[in-house]
Chain A
Amino acid sequence: MSATRPGDGAFAIDARGLGVRYNLRLTRRTTVRHSFAHLLRPMDGATHFWALRNATFRVEHGESLAVIGPNGAGKSTLLQVLAGIITPSEGSVEMRGKVSSLLTLGAGFDPDLTGIDNILLAGEFMGLDHREMRRRLPEMIAFADIGKFIDAPLKTYSSGMRARLGFSIATSVDPDVLLVDEVLATGDQLFREKSRKRIEELIAAAKGIVLVTHDMNWVTTFCNRAILLEKGEVVAEGDPADVVALHQAHSEQARQEKEAEAARLQLSGVL
């Protein structure tokens, strides 16, 4: 049984014309002085920037969608919108079911708290049921494989241990819609194997997946559809192999242009 609207297939994500606009005046480290300066010179440069525009796509049940593109194309912004972290400036998105995001690991970690405290706190931030959290605690600790350090403050952890703990918390969920952002390459070889397997399990269990990655192997192995984002716009959508090929052609082209540009600059003696 599924809660479909008449005429709709069973979907996990339905995004229509998503756009995210950043107000450049309100970005980082604003001070009152800057605001006054802007009041005096209101037409000073561009005031807005679209990190994402006109993104329309749909993830059907059982589908996993790869989002690829160069740095700064809006991939992470898209994922943030889907996770509910950013409200879209235009367009709308409908998510069906429990959404969970595996964004960058260890986001909420507090260096002064122990591993256990950090797990419980992260669970509360993610809105997970605390009884469930406590029940899974041993399993998560075992997965992270940090031994007796679990009772030590996080600042005593190595970066590998921190990453393993982060991964173990982030994947302790069983969502209907899974959003994954570049969490795959963490830790040593052994843990990478283990985490890959865990992600495969999650992907197999979820009804819909959106995967943002630079690892084209993941795209072709795990996704049955892909979209290519460039400068905030969807430039291609379709079979993963085709989209990856297009992306690689575009990056190659961009690289050559950059090289040519660098060569020109070098010739004119700027470098």
Chain B
Amino acid sequence: MTTVTPEIRAVYGAARPGPMSLVAEGLRDIWSRRRLARYLVQADLKKKGTDTLLGNIWWVLDPLLQMLVYVVLVTLIAGRAEPDFPLFVFAAILPWKWFSAALNDAIMSVVSRERIIKQVHFPKIILPVASTLSGIVNFAFGLLPLAALIVLFYRDRLTIMLLLIPVIAIAQLAFTLGLAILFAAINVFYRDVGNLARHLLRLWFYLSPGLYSIDRIQHILDAQPVVALAFALNPFTILFEAYRAVIYEGTLPAFDSLAILTVASLALLGACTYLFKRLEPAFAKVL
């Protein structure tokens, strides 16, 4: 007996599906191939650990060293640090590393799989999703030095609020996924995206209140309403403030802004998934 699987129908369907069905198909792709995503994440983690002497210890060491660089930079050179600056900046480094590594990986995720894309039919959307997810694992490992830092040096800042980190991470995940999917697709057609992204990401970090508090630049924001608007619309203003609230200040994060960010990010994710699915059929031809 012969059967046509739904998968095959989807591939050969002649009529162009509408936006909603494309988004639904994209989400189904992700869900049905979650094991592929898991394997890709595992492969990524294995690879990152094998070539170095210290192996996976680098996951813990890396954010600590980056923290050290910023502490030296801001306290010694700029000379105007927040109190308990190492913890202050660590609360921003951790989520930012996830975000920037995920985006940089995702941008290359489709083009670097050129050969298999031309040989095997599979939902390409899994590739940027896996990049984003492997960032989560790094983020989770970064929580270890964070916990150590708090317990050893800043025990007075240890609060129950730390348990809210995953809630903020969900908002960040939604936002990161959308951008990762979008740029993975665009980079297939314009390889410039990869070159540009590294610099733009760095600029974005400095323009977000990661190394400084929003209070410190309040006078600029008051004087320049356009800058103030840009800061208010920057998702990483909301995210950094929220992480800092639970990690550094021990207060509740601004749930209303987090909720708005999550909803907006889900809309973005939908739009980017649609775009990806529209462009996907051309990947094998263009690569």
Contacts and interface: CB of A to CB of B under 8 A. Distances in A.
Nearest to A111: B47
B2 A207 contact: yes
B149 to A, nearest CB: 32
B81 interface: no
B42 to A, nearest CB: 8
A85 interface: yes
A96 to B, nearest CB: 4
A239 to B, nearest CB: 26
B5 A98 contact: yes
Q: Interface SS of chain A: helix, strand, loop or mixed? A: loop
B224 interface: no
Contact of A28 (B5, B39, B190, B286): B286
A108 B114 CA distance: 9
Nearest to B47: A112
A119 to B, nearest CB: 11
Nearest to B287: A28
B236 to A, nearest CB: 26
A85 B284 contact: yes
Q: Interface SS of chain B: helix, strand, loop or mixed? A: helix
Interface residues of A, number: 49
A77 to B, nearest CB: 9
B158 to A, nearest CB: 39
A31 B192 contact: yes
Contact of B43 (A28, A94, A113, A207): A113
B198 interface: no
A31 B190 contact: yes
Contacts of A176: 2
Interface in A59-115: 80, 83-87, 92-99, 101, 103-104, 107-108, 110, 112-113
B191 interface: yes
Contacts of A22: 285
A80 B281 CA distance: 12
Interface of A: 1-3, 10, 12, 20, 22-23, 26-32, 35, 80, 83-87, 92-99, 101, 103-104, 107-108, 110, 112-113, 117, 120-121, 124-127, 130, 153, 176, 207
The 3 closest A-B pairs by CB, nearest first: A108-B116, A107-B119, A84-B11
11 contacts: A28-B286, A86-B281, A86-B284, A94-B4, A95-B4, A101-B119, A108-B116, A121-B40, A126-B122, A127-B122, A130-B35
Given A3-B4, A83-B121, A96-B2, 17 more contacts: A2-B1, A27-B286, A29-B191, A30-B189, A32-B190, A84-B12, A85-B118, A95-B12, A98-B5, A103-B118, A103-B119, A104-B119, A107-B116, A107-B119, A112-B47, A125-B116, A127-B7
Interface of B: 1-5, 7-8, 11-12, 14, 33, 35-36, 39-40, 42-43, 46-47, 50-51, 113, 115-122, 189-192, 281-282, 284-287
